[in-house]
Amino acid sequence: LGLALYAGSLCAASEATFLYHDYCVIGAGPAGLQAAYFLQRAGRDYIVFERSHAPGSFFALYPRHRKLISINKQYTGKSNSEFNLRHDWNSLLSHDRRLLFRRYSRDFFPDADTMVRYLEDFASLLKLRVQYNTAIIHVTLEKNEQAWNGHYFLLTDQDRKNYKCSLLLVAAGTWVPNVVNFPGSEYVEGYETVSINPEDFTGQTVLILGRGNSAFETAENILGVTNFIHMVSRSRVRLSWATHYVGDLRAINNGLLDTYQLKSLDGLLEGDLEDLAIIKDKKGKLHITLRFYLENRNISAGIDSITLPQDELDNFATRAPYDRVIRCLGWKFDFSIYNRSLRMMPGKGNIKKYPQIKPSYESRGTRGLFVLGTASHSVDFRKSAGGFIHGFRYTTRAVHRLLENRHHGVPWPSTVYPITQLTNSIIKRVNEASGLYQMFSVLADIILLRENATAFEYLEEYPIGVLAELETQTGRKARSGLFVVIMEYGRNFSGADKDVFYYNRAVGEAQHAWQSNFLHPVIYYYKRLPTEREMRLRHPDWPLPRPDAIHHIVEDFLTDWTAPNAHILPLRRFVENCLGTDLRNFFAESCFLFAFTRQKLPPCCQQGYMRMQGLVGSQELRHHAAQAGLLQDYTHTDFSDDRPPDSHAGSQEQLMRDHGMPVRPLQHLVNAKDE
């Protein structure tokens, strides 16, 4: 570090003055602040640049109608802070319990101003180093062999002040509004400036371009006062409750769907905006036509000479003239400030609004440049929550951990447990972990087995896209096989055209768990770390390549996977069979018997009883175990009673049968909850 600083100051002397920091973060939005928090906690040299005078400038303007659609659940019936984060989509991660969003707002869908206030508090309470009123307008590279990644990042702000950093974290979000150019697009108002006062729309006929939450939010606001609203977009509407993707249309905004389908004049249309043209007539009404008609015409000929679709097709859908056309087409990443040498390229297809990055969130073009926050959503676009606060707060932490290992020799945090704690560790995590839950199929817990499977190392929330590079990225060794714990929805359950409410959508039997549709934990077992090639060749729909064994924990209505027989037992059998050992718990008395009658002991006895930590168990418990036929009660044995060994086994089976029964009668309880 000292060397880097020295090298940095040398450069500064030779050229203009550069202010050096190890880490530069662009943007003091949620992701930038979250990154700053981790850097601060780790004692790193960093600075955050924010173009506005306060953090979260995007939220100062957006959403225009001020209602956040990220939930702020006050009550879950649980006090588990980690679990509760699953239902808190606004808080950033910190050790400070004051910085929980529910302390800022009681609204389930809070106001955006509250978010701004929260972010201000987050930055100030945690004393994060943010340099406000600094808009980075240019980023370029300076080659230097001594730099961490072979180059420094040189940043220039609006006042031509220069900054130099070893690592650049881009948390600038996507804030450049998407614009479509077509003849007449000058008549279109943008979402960013359109009036949010419904009175301005009284008695008007409105056309909205776009079909995202901003479009519907805009429509929702004026639904009651307009003549009618039409909405046009290339793709059909995707409802988030059908796709399980929070970025799709949320139910809170979908009032227009209701009025459309309940024949109240509003409606949705599909069509490519590129083909559109808008003509303003003398009365100021806006007419929809097609670019095709304009191209064949002499535009100067005046408006009356332009063919309108209804001239040829007299039932053309949008033949009625509009008073206003509003564009709500979302935003894209600002690529303009990066020098070509950084090769910040837009993604392909539907992720072209995001820069190209690797699953490790590092830019594909430049080593040492990481993209955080909304701009990093290309990794899990339309799949998981990486574009939203409740998702990227975890991916940001993951990036921080990767960097700690890469540049500071701090391996990925892990805990080593004895093997007897394996099922417990998994159960604990799948029941409370928020990162796994929010970033399902993106972040995974990794369990690295130690030799002879007597112990294991637990790593939390590692990005599975770079599973093959685990050893170099985390500084941990995967010598004897590994488990990967992730959460998944059923493979073809989610989707825009799927009926997610069909009968029998839920699986209740542990042995059919692989058919679970709702979000449920899945554990992959690999005898060795998958290679990069295997990762590359995996099926595109699969987060991971073919494992050596796989286990699904059956979906649960309460997302509470602690049922001893339906959840924990099959999981234990799975890990037992992967490891080839017996992971049952035994009372001290059983271990005592094994110690005298077997040369080898099960792990529970080895790691517990033999270390003087046997589970003695109360009288009642041992009695229950004996009744279940799982523990023999020798108390009443006398010497003449030399029972043949089978009588015990017989009673055991009998008891097992008996206790298998009681669940069954309940099947007749028919409840019409889902009918």
| Shortest Å distance, C-beta 630 to other proteins | 4
- By CB under 8 A, which span of 40-48, 156-164, 271-279, 651-659 interacts with other proteins? 651-659
CA–CA gap between residue 144 and residue 146 (Å, rounded): 5
| The residue to which tokens 């093959």 are assigned | 468
**Distances in whole angstroms, Cα of residue 503 to Cα of each of 499, 500, 507, 557:** 10, 9, 11, 15
Contact call for residue 452 and other proteins (CB under 8 A): no
Closest to other proteins by CB, 297 or 598: 598
Among residues 304, 314, 451, 675, the one that binds other proteins under rule CB under 8 A: 675
| Shortest Å distance, C-beta 556 to other proteins | 6
The answer to whether the beta carbons of residues 381 and 357 sit under 8 Å apart is no
Contact call for residue 569 and other proteins (CB under 8 A): yes
| Shortest Å distance, C-beta 523 to other proteins | 10
Contact call for residue 568 and other proteins (CB under 8 A): yes
| Shortest Å distance, C-beta 106 to other proteins | 20
**φ, ψ (nearest 5 deg) of residue 373:** 75, -155
Dihedral-angle region of residue 580 (phi above 0 means left; psi in -120 to 50 means alpha; beta otherwise): left
**φ, ψ (nearest 5 deg) of residue 17:** -80, 125
Closest to other proteins by CB, 269 or 656: 656
The answer to whether the beta carbons of residues 45 and 163 sit under 8 Å apart is no
Contact call for residue 624 and other proteins (CB under 8 A): yes
Closest to other proteins by CB, 48 or 510: 510
Among residues 428, 450, 454, 480, the one that binds other proteins under rule CB under 8 A: 428
**Ranges within 255-274 binding other proteins (CB under 8 A):** none
Among residues 76, 197, 577, 654, the one that binds other proteins under rule CB under 8 A: 577
**Ranges within 548-567 binding other proteins (CB under 8 A):** 549-552, 554-558, 562-566
The answer to whether the beta carbons of residues 111 and 118 sit under 8 Å apart is no
Contact call for residue 663 and other proteins (CB under 8 A): yes
| Shortest Å distance, C-beta 91 to other proteins | 14
Q: Judging by beta carbons within 10 Å of its beta carbon (0-12, 13-18, 19+), is residue 385 exposed, middle or buried?
A: buried
Contact call for residue 421 and other proteins (CB under 8 A): yes
Mask: binding to other proteins, 489-508, rule CB under 8 A, as x and -?
-xxxx-x-xxx--xxxxxxx
**φ, ψ (nearest 5 deg) of residue 649:** -60, -40
Mask: binding to other proteins, 508-537, rule CB under 8 A, as x and -?
xxxxxxxx-xx------------------x
Closest to other proteins by CB, 270 or 633: 633
**Ranges within 19-78 binding other proteins (CB under 8 A):** 78
Q: Binding residues for other proteins, how many (CB under 8 A)?
A: 136
| The residue to which tokens 């009618």 are assigned | 228
CA–CA gap between residue 473 and residue 326 (Å, rounded): 47
Cα–Cα–Cα angle for 268, 228, 195, rounded to 5 degrees: 100
Among residues 432, 450, 475, 480, the one that binds other proteins under rule CB under 8 A: 432
Contact call for residue 451 and other proteins (CB under 8 A): no
Closest to other proteins by CB, 265 or 569: 569
| Shortest Å distance, C-beta 521 to other proteins | 12
The token duo for 544 is: 């991971």
**Ranges within 625-644 binding other proteins (CB under 8 A):** 625, 627-628, 630-635, 637, 639, 642, 644
CA–CA gap between residue 357 and residue 376 (Å, rounded): 7
Contact call for residue 450 and other proteins (CB under 8 A): no
CA–CA gap between residue 643 and residue 647 (Å, rounded): 7
- By CB under 8 A, which span of 132-140, 154-162, 354-362, 422-430 interacts with other proteins? 422-430
Contact call for residue 576 and other proteins (CB under 8 A): yes
**Distances in whole angstroms, Cα of residue 10 to Cα of each of 3, 6, 17, 46, 586:** 10, 6, 10, 19, 66
Closest to other proteins by CB, 258 or 582: 582
**Ranges within 159-188 binding other proteins (CB under 8 A):** none
CA–CA gap between residue 232 and residue 270 (Å, rounded): 6
| The residue to which tokens 């060794």 are assigned | 477
- The DSSP line for 18-57 is EEEEEEEEE--SHHHHHHHHHHHHTT--EEEE-SSSSS-H
The answer to whether the beta carbons of residues 33 and 120 sit under 8 Å apart is no
**H or E element, residue 406:** helix 389-408
Contact call for residue 674 and other proteins (CB under 8 A): yes
Contact call for residue 645 and other proteins (CB under 8 A): yes
Contact call for residue 615 and other proteins (CB under 8 A): yes
| Shortest Å distance, C-beta 90 to other proteins | 19
Q: Judging by beta carbons within 10 Å of its beta carbon (0-12, 13-18, 19+), is residue 618 exposed, middle or buried?
A: exposed
Contact call for residue 108 and other proteins (CB under 8 A): no
**H or E element, residue 604:** helix 603-607
Contact call for residue 616 and other proteins (CB under 8 A): yes
- By CB under 8 A, which span of 149-157, 191-199, 272-280, 661-669 interacts with other proteins? 661-669
Q: How many CB atoms lie within 10 A of CB 211?
A: 24
| Shortest Å distance, C-beta 595 to other proteins | 6
Mask: binding to other proteins, 380-419, rule CB under 8 A, as x and -?
-----------------------------------x-xx-
| Shortest Å distance, C-beta 322 to other proteins | 35
Q: Which of 512, 521, 534, 515 is nearest to 487 (CA)?
A: 521
Closest to other proteins by CB, 143 or 596: 596
First vs last C-alpha separation in the chain: 65
Closest to other proteins by CB, 225 or 593: 593
**Ranges within 585-614 binding other proteins (CB under 8 A):** 585-590, 592-593, 595-603, 609-614
- By CB under 8 A, which span of 58-66, 214-222, 371-379, 655-663 interacts with other proteins? 655-663
Closest to other proteins by CB, 214 or 494: 494
CA dihedral 395, 401, 406, 411 (to 10 degrees): -140
Q: Which of 64, 61, 73 is nearest to 212 (CA)?
A: 64
| Shortest Å distance, C-beta 573 to other proteins | 4
> Taking the CA atoms of the chain, what radius of gyration do you get in angstroms?
30
3-state SS track over 174-227: CCEECCCCCCCHHHCEECCCCCCCHHHHCCCEEEEECCCHHHHHHHHHHCCCCC
The token duo for 289 is: 């036509």
| Shortest Å distance, C-beta 486 to other proteins | 14
| Shortest Å distance, C-beta 603 to other proteins | 7
Closest to other proteins by CB, 100 or 154: 100
Closest to other proteins by CB, 527 or 659: 659
**For residue 456, what are the β-bridge partners?**
417, 449
